[in-house]
Amino acid sequence: MPELVFFSGTMDCGKSTLALQIEHNRSARGLVGMIFTRDDRAGEGKLSSRLGLVRDAVEVGDDQDLYAYIVDHLSQGGRADYVIADEAQFLAPEQIDQLARVVDDLGVDAYAFGITTDFRSKLFPGSQRLVELADRVEVLQVEALCWCGARATHNARTVGGEMVVEGAQVVVGDVDQPDAIGYEVLCRRHHSRRMTAATARAAALSPDVLPVSSAGV
């Protein structure tokens, strides 16, 4: 039976890499897929992974009807044996409903990839709807690590290396951007303490932190 599957995880856990792998495996067997994305780091109309792999995709607009788009594609003689939607957290709940309709009415598998929560640990509306509707939710097993070495469970937005907890839910950025808006994965403890890798280094180098000596012991 066709399924709507949500592959979820933190940043850096290989979601887009898996999306590209699924696309490769199916296209190598003669299947034809339709790839959607939204606000990819590589630019408009691209599905990219941090490993450097890039694939052309359909950039989803705010009010785009994904079901109508696919039906129109099929009515013009195109094929769609499966659908991949990357950065699915940025899709509107209505667009997730449309993906579910693609599965139920057209009999086409739909694979959605995205992070579940934003930099404030709040659910993205698109991800929430996927959790509500998906036939399966797969948490990716490639563990991203916090700077401390613990398993990263939260996504943090940074400005100049410092974590921020206010602002628009969607601001396109990337990891490893110390002087601009960027993103970093943290364990729950350091996310709650707002301690990024940069602030941890600064604290360790601060002259206010006295070195421990054996004098007087």
Measured in whole angstroms, how far is the alpha carbon of residue 173 from the centre of its chain? 12
The one-character DSSP state at 211 is P
| Cβ atoms of 51 and 17 closer than 8 Å | yes
- Distance CA(140)–CA(129), nearest Å, equals 18
H helix and E strand count, the chain = 6, 11
- Distance CA(78)–CA(160), nearest Å, equals 47
| Cβ atoms of 173 and 142 closer than 8 Å | no
For this structure, is 23 an active site residue?
Answer: no
- Distance CA(85)–CA(8), nearest Å, equals 12
Q: Which of 119, 53, 63 is nearest to 86 (CA)?
A: 53
Tokens read off for 202: 């600064």
Question: Which residue of the set 87, 132, 143, 184 is catalytic?
Answer: 87
Would you name the residues annotated as active-site residues? 87
